[in-house]
Amino acid sequence: MQEQRTVNRYSQAFKHKVVSEIENGNLTITQAQALYGIGGGQTIQKWLQRLGKAHLLNKVVHIEMKDERNKVKELENEKRALESALAQAQLKIIALESTIKVLEEEAGTKVKKSIDIASSNSVSPTSDSTKDTIQ
């Protein structure tokens, strides 16, 4: 003989009561299962999805064309390549600066010119360099 399986049907009021107790923090899912004798591992999770406050939250749906998805992937790959190139350029700058520093120490003189950014940005028509060319 076959065993008959019992199927429990819970009322909407009962489901709402369990969901509200879980959402209020009075019970955990496992506590609610034990307290009310609810079988099935996903039963309460489904109730929470359908009846809980999560259904009131806004959902973001992205609608895009196939070529847009490919474009995003291409841009991400390009970004990675640019970041890699930037990192390599920074390493090259560090290597060159350290080489210049070693050369300066060995030669005892300055190899690298220092640039005064403040004076080069504020060039006025009456500066010394323009006086020579104007006269």
pLDDT of residue 131: 44
Tell me: do 71 and 90 sit in the same domain.
yes
DSSP 31-100: HHHHHHT--SSSHHHHHHHHHSGGGGS--------HHHHHHHHHHHHHHHHHHHHHHHHHHHHHHHHHHH
* pLDDT of 79: 97
What's the number of domains the chain is made of?
2
Average of pLDDT values for 73-80?
Answer: 94
Domain that holds residue 83: 66-109
State the Cα–Cα distance between residues 36 and 82, nearest whole angstrom: 58
Tell me, yes or no, whether 49 and 70 share the same domain: no
Q: Identify whether residues 48 and 18 lie together within a single domain.
A: yes
Task: Answer with the residue of higher pLDDT: 85 or 9.
Answer: 85
The pair of three-digit structure tokens given for residue 10, joined into one six-digit string: 């819970």
pLDDT at 134: 45
Phi-psi region of 4 (alpha: psi -120 to 50; beta: other; left: phi over 0): beta
**AA letter at 40:** G
Q: How confident is the model at residue 122 (pLDDT cuts 50, 70, 90)?
A: low
pLDDT interval class at 107 (50, 70, 90): confident
Token code pair at residue 6: 């019992």
Residues 51 and 86 in one domain: no
92: which 2 tokens? 């090259």
**What pTM did the predictor assign?**
0.40
> Tens digits of per-residue pLDDT, 87-106?
999 999 999 999 999 998 88
Per-residue pLDDT tens over the stretch 8-61: 889 999 999 999 998 888 988 899 999 999 888 788 888 888 888 876 666 778
